[in-house]
Chain A
Amino acid sequence: MIAYALQQLINGITLGMVYGLIAVGYTMVYGIIGMINFAHGDVFMVGAYVGIIVLTAFSGMGIAAVPVGLLVALLVSVVLCGVYGFTIERAAYRPLRGSFRLAPLISAIGMSILLENFVQTSQGAKDRAIPEPIPGGFKIMQQHGFVVQMSYMQIAIIVTTLVTLGIFTYIVTKTPLGRAMRAIEQDAKMAALLGVNTNRVISLTFVIGSALAAVAGIMFLSYYGVINFFIGFNAGIKAFTAAVLGGIGSLPGAVLGGLLIGLIEAFWSGYATIAYKDVAVYSILAIVLMFMPTGLLGRADIEKV
């Protein structure tokens, strides 16, 4: 029984780390400009597609070194998604800055639909799949014939999420760029008066957030191996839930929220019934928000008078 519980723990942590990785990008953009970027899930999807295109090209050229291919795919995807993020902010959000609060939100939904349809028409509506890039894994323990397995990909996902979280927490809390970001979050006008180039910092935030989405897209692609133009929607909803549960705006909160959701899903499917796992997730979200309206690690907004 311990073996089974351990296996579900591994399943849950991996799934949670995937959610967390997407949620970090979500929460980062929210943390700076207080806007929910609904197109984030779709940038994630674009990142995964760039990955599959690069990997297919690599195997087409007969280059069999998969880890190299993955690394190149990651780099190309990060750069391209960064460009997407920059363009999206420039085209869809910046003109609406200073407009009423809902305007950029609706613009983001429009952007999300645009990206989905763009990928659907240019890449086809079918599911695309790649063979497992890094097969194999560890056998952790065995009990009554039940072997607990942890694949190399699962380890890669957990490590990537934690490393990414570390890097970006450092950027936001310790670097001049991070200080400028936090200043804009607190008061954009005042930050501008004090010489912070707000346009540049906000653009950079979007570029970084989209690069994070690209990393998540590549990890998703290499772990699950199957993508379609619609994955951004589901992943976006779950990542958004993770960000809210952890306290939107908080980077460690996003990963914590993702982890919780992943664990609830895995243990609920493992011990109760797989049919109602989303009910379990959202019930817990509702209960947490009732007692902690800003999420687990969120700070309460102090109204300045």
Chain B
Amino acid sequence: MGNKFYKVAAMSALGLCLTVGAAQAQVKIGVAGPMTGSNAAFGTQLVNGANQAVADINAHGGVLGKKVTAVTVDDACDPKQAVTVANQLVADHVVMVDGHFCSASTIPASKVYSENGVLEISPASTNPQYTDQGSWNTFRVCGRDDEQGKVAANYIKAHFAKDKIAVLDDNSTYGKGIADQVRMNLKKLGVKVAYNASYTAGEKDYSALISRLKQDGIGLVYVGGYYADAGIMEREGAAQGYHPQYFGEDAMATDQLWQIAGPAAQGMLFTFPPPAEKSPSAAAVVKELSAKGQNPGGYVLYSYATIQVWAEAAKKAHSIKPLVVAKELKAGGPWNTVLGQIRFNKIGDVVPAAYAIYIWNNGKYTVHAMH
């Protein structure tokens, strides 16, 4: 019965493709991120932004007269699965990928895309290595961790230099990358780090680590990792009566953090790019997203911008060929996006890239200080 079902499904899918193909040519793009696993909240942000972008572009006639369709794949923030789904997207003939999310996925996947002539624009991967590898096809619309680490370190020096500082990381490409940047920048600024440690992401019991931090009298805990682990640490810290200042990075920008940590996250600081949802260029999109009941915060608009900037460049270059669009993205611009006016430099990093300091307050995060 299963077999029959698949046959029928495949045939109707084929039929659907043929009808669409006959009516209007289409161009496929990929949306890749963690749709399952502990970072799934960010996968949802990526999909929400991408769907809105595709809908808006198609409502204005598509790209060069072609209708855009998005293929969503799940890498679960796992490097091996990222390569698998990257190959899947290549086989699906996508010309551009909005993704991936975790740097540990984005970097290995980018090699598959570059070999197969697919453009990759990451909305959220901040590890410097991603664009530093110098591939023709790698772009990002978010900042880099060397910048983000510097902003965090400067803020810590200015406000918490008197406290004993611990820097933790989860040993992932992203988490360790950003934590190392913070450590290096703090050292440059002459701020001493009293305790360094790497934990394993996905653990549920951090009570021993919390007791250690408490015993050492740590006043500021920097967490280089994802929200799920940071949230559990804060929760377990509160249960032990330990309330240091927590400091995180862009992977803390999801309501899920508060759902996990609850009031224990009150006052947590983190670095994230300036709030795109407040900028006038995003107003229309924010309104539509809010009407659908979707939060436009976090990386939603960044995901929107990757597709938007690709469509703009393709229109300007009169081609959807990834190589041509990649050249246009770097040479052309500035591009008008929901993030405001952006440009790309020689290696595909966005300029200007800025970071602000956010604070968690009663279940919401707001800008605390601009840099």
On A, residues with C-beta under 8 Å from B are 4, 7-8, 11-12, 14-15, 18, 120, 124-127, 129, 131-132, 135, 137, 139, 145-147, 149, 151, 153, 220, 224-226, 228, 230-231, 234, 265-270, 273-275, 278
What residue of chain B has the Cβ atom nearest to residue A146's Cβ? B215
Could you give, for residues 202-231 of chain B, a 1 whenever the CB lies within 8 Å of some chain A CB and a 0 otherwise? 111101110110110100000000001001
Distance in angstroms from A14 CB to nearest chain B CB is 7
Expressed in whole angstroms, the Cα–Cα distance for A234 and B208 within the complex equals 18
Question: How many A-B residue contacts, CB cutoff 8 Å?
Answer: 101
Contacts beyond the supplied A127-B38, A228-B37, A265-B205: 20 A-B pairs with Cβ under 8 Å: A7-B214, A11-B205, A11-B207, A15-B205, A18-B205, A126-B41, A126-B44, A131-B262, A135-B239, A137-B239, A146-B214, A151-B239, A225-B235, A226-B204, A226-B260, A234-B203, A266-B208, A268-B208, A274-B197, A278-B200
Expressed in whole angstroms, the Cα–Cα distance for A145 and B242 within the complex equals 12
B40 to A126, Cβ gap below 8 A?
yes
Select one of A8, A120, A149 contacting B241, CB under 8 A. A149
What residue of chain B has the Cβ atom nearest to residue A220's Cβ? B204
Give the chain B neighbours of A234 by CB distance below 8 A.
Answer: 202-204
B198 close to A (CB within 8 Å): yes
B232 close to A (CB within 8 Å): yes
Distance in angstroms from A21 CB to nearest chain B CB is 14
Majority-rule SS of B interface residues: helix
A149 to B209, Cβ gap below 8 A?
no
A270 to B212, Cβ gap below 8 A?
yes
Give the chain B neighbours of A120 by CB distance below 8 A.
Answer: 36
Select one of B202, B239, B240 contacting A132, CB under 8 A. B239
B208 to A274, Cβ gap below 8 A?
yes
What residue of chain A has the Cβ atom nearest to residue B202's Cβ? A234
Give the chain B neighbours of A266 by CB distance below 8 A.
Answer: 207-208
A12 to B241, Cβ gap below 8 A?
no
What residue of chain B has the Cβ atom nearest to residue A128's Cβ? B259
- Interface size for chain B: under 10, 10 to 19, 20 to 34, or 35 or more residues? 35 or more
**Contacts A137-B239, A275-B197: A224 and B232 contacting too (C-beta < 8 A)?**
yes
B171 close to A (CB within 8 Å): yes
A11 to B211, Cβ gap below 8 A?
yes
Select one of A125, A147, A226, A265 contacting B37, CB under 8 A. A125
**Contacts A125-B35, A224-B232: A273 and B197 contacting too (C-beta < 8 A)?**
yes
9 closest A-B pairs by beta carbon, nearest first, are A125-B36, A269-B208, A11-B207, A266-B208, A125-B40, A129-B260, A4-B215, A275-B198, A7-B211
Select one of B36, B44, B199, B217 contacting A274, CB under 8 A. B199
Expressed in whole angstroms, the Cα–Cα distance for A147 and B217 within the complex equals 12
Expressed in whole angstroms, the Cα–Cα distance for A125 and B256 within the complex equals 12
Which residues of B (22-67) have their CB < 8 Å from a CB of A? Answer: 35-38, 40-41, 44
Expressed in whole angstroms, the Cα–Cα distance for A4 and B207 within the complex equals 12
Provide a sorted-by-A list of 17 A–B residue pairs whose CB atoms are within 8 angstroms.
A4-B215, A7-B215, A14-B207, A126-B41, A127-B256, A129-B259, A132-B262, A220-B204, A224-B204, A225-B260, A230-B38, A265-B205, A268-B208, A269-B212, A274-B208, A275-B198, A275-B200
B199 to A275, Cβ gap below 8 A?
yes
Expressed in whole angstroms, the Cα–Cα distance for A14 and B35 within the complex equals 33
**Contacts A7-B211, A132-B262, A230-B37: A127 and B228 contacting too (C-beta < 8 A)?**
yes
Give the chain B neighbours of A125 by CB distance below 8 A.
Answer: 35-37, 40
Expressed in whole angstroms, the Cα–Cα distance for A69 and B203 within the complex equals 27
Give the chain B neighbours of A124 by CB distance below 8 A.
Answer: 40
**Contacts A127-B256, A129-B260: A269 and B209 contacting too (C-beta < 8 A)?**
yes
Give the chain A neighbours of B199 by CB distance below 8 A.
Answer: 274-275
Q: For A7, A129, A135, A147, which residue has the most chain B Cβ atoms within 10 angstroms?
A: A129
Expressed in whole angstroms, the Cα–Cα distance for A122 and B260 within the complex equals 20
What residue of chain B has the Cβ atom nearest to residue A4's Cβ? B215
What residue of chain B has the Cβ atom nearest to residue A139's Cβ? B241
What residue of chain A has the Cβ atom nearest to residue B44's Cβ? A126
Give the chain B neighbours of A269 by CB distance below 8 A.
Answer: 208-209, 212
Give the chain B neighbours of A135 by CB distance below 8 A.
Answer: 239
Give the chain A neighbours of B209 by CB distance below 8 A.
Answer: 269, 274
Expressed in whole angstroms, the Cα–Cα distance for A125 and B239 within the complex equals 27
Give the chain B neighbours of A12 by CB distance below 8 A.
Answer: 208
Which residues of B (239-296) have their CB < 8 Å from a CB of A? Answer: 239-241, 256, 259-260, 262
Expressed in whole angstroms, the Cα–Cα distance for A224 and B202 within the complex equals 12
Expressed in whole angstroms, the Cα–Cα distance for A14 and B208 within the complex equals 11
Give the chain B neighbours of A139 by CB distance below 8 A.
Answer: 241
Select one of B35, B205, B208 contacting A270, CB under 8 A. B208
What residue of chain A has the Cβ atom nearest to residue B259's Cβ? A129
Give the chain B neighbours of A220 by CB distance below 8 A.
Answer: 204
Which residues of B (166-194) have their CB < 8 Å from a CB of A? Answer: 171
Select one of A127, A230, A270, A275 contacting B260, CB under 8 A. A127
Distance in angstroms from A125 CB to nearest chain B CB is 4
What residue of chain A has the Cβ atom nearest to residue B254's Cβ? A126
Give the chain A neighbours of B259 by CB distance below 8 A.
Answer: 127, 129
Give the chain A neighbours of B202 by CB distance below 8 A.
Answer: 230, 234
Distance in angstroms from B213 CB to nearest chain A CB is 10
Give the chain B neighbours of A145 by CB distance below 8 A.
Answer: 217
A4 to B211, Cβ gap below 8 A?
yes
Expressed in whole angstroms, the Cα–Cα distance for A230 and B202 within the complex equals 9
Expressed in whole angstroms, the Cα–Cα distance for A135 and B38 within the complex equals 25
B200 to A15, Cβ gap below 8 A?
no
